[in-house]
Amino acid sequence: MHLIRAAQAVPYQAHGHTGVDSRRLQGSEVGGPDKAAVSVSTYLPGSAVAASPTAADTIYVVLAGELELNGHLGEASLTLAAHDSVFLPRGEVRSLRNRTAENAMLLVVLLTEIGGADERPAHL
């Protein structure tokens, strides 16, 4: 068992994220699973993630609030609300924005390649 208390979650600044408070809960620099990293991010009103490719297969689960998700392969914008989830394969270009006046919380699960820690993207 590998327990990380909320107070032990490691803050980090993800590339292209503005106004987003991200905390690593499991994997990567906090230890735990070799093939996944789990984070929770708080999106302040007006915060955004610039269009960029995902570093790994990624699952988003909105825990609270609403976020606008834009795919960049011709998909329409999607509004994600509490308990909505989406899977993005590695390399899919996406952007996110909190267009509301309330904070939004997003659980992020990054799945690394089969083979373990040696194949984990360097910036997870």
Rg from Cα positions in the chain: 14
pLDDT band, very low/low/confident/very high, at 113 (cuts 50, 70, 90)? low
Residue 106 φ/ψ, nearest 5 degrees: -130, 125
pLDDT digits (tens, 9 = 90+) for 36-74: 999 999 999 999 999 999 989 999 999 999 999 998 776
pLDDT band, very low/low/confident/very high, at 115 (cuts 50, 70, 90)? very low
CA distance 42 to 96: 12
CA distance 24 to 103: 18
Architecture of the domain made up of 6-113 = Sandwich (2.60)
pLDDT band, very low/low/confident/very high, at 29 (cuts 50, 70, 90)? confident
The vertex-46 CA angle with 56 and 21, nearest 5°, equals 50
CB 111 within 8 A of CB 87: no
Domain ranges of the chain: 6-113
Q: What is the mean pLDDT of residues 95-115?
A: 90
pLDDT surpassing 50 at residue 118: no
Reduced to 3 states (helix: H, G, I; strand: E, B; else coil), residue 72 is coil
In DSSP notation, 84-114 reads: -EEEE-TT-EEEEE--SSS-EEEEEEEEPPT
**β-bridge mates for residue 81, sequence order:** 66
Q: Give the residue among 93, 69, 95 at the shortest CA–CA distance from 81.
A: 69
